[in-house]
Amino acid sequence: MKTFMQSKETVARDWYVIDAKDVALGRVAAKAASMLRGKHKPTYTPHIDCGDYIIIINAKDVLLTGNKLKGKKYYDHSRYAGGLRTRTAKEMVESYPVEMVERAVKGMLPHNRLGRQMYKKLFVYEGSTHPHMAQQPKEVKVGRE
């Protein structure tokens, strides 16, 4: 039996919605990253971007467990001397929830040009509405099932 290898011309992409309300950030990010890679499909091929489009809604209501609101830090550097900016997870949830979820998902994707291509299929929204209703996205449940 020959091993199946998908080509980029034969990839069929679907749209999925993940509701992040009251679900742990890591669970949402892991599910989204796996679906962006295409690992949920029987035609998964590691060197091809065979994943689907993912929409994450309610990013402002994502759950952080334990002491992460005070202890977890997000770092950015301007590449100038003294240009380090540090924000806590609490600041990120209050002011930049979309960026926080995007960073979590991006960290779980491959760190190469294939990963950057997969990341472009991710759409994160702070509230429960999104402009992708024309694509008829399917609902995906995340959490403890």
pTM of the model: 0.93
pLDDT for res 144: 65
Q: What is the mean pLDDT of the segment spanning 12-17? A: 96
- Of 47, 26, 44, 24, nearest to 112 by C-alpha is 47
d(C-alpha 105, C-alpha 32), whole Å: 7
Contact present, 109 and 34 (Cβ < 8 Å): no
Q: What is the mean pLDDT of the segment spanning 18-37? A: 96
d(C-alpha 145, C-alpha 139), whole Å: 15
- 95: domain CATH number? 3.90.1180.10
Q: Is 8 among the domain residues?
A: no
Domain count, the chain: 1
Q: Is the pLDDT of residue 145 over 70?
A: no
CA dihedral 125, 49, 109, 13 (to 10 degrees): 30
Which residue range forms the structural domain that includes residue 57? 16-140
Q: What is the mean pLDDT of the chain?
A: 95
Q: Quick: pLDDT tens for 54-111.
A: 999 999 999 999 999 999 999 999 999 999 999 999 999 999 999 999 999 999 999 9
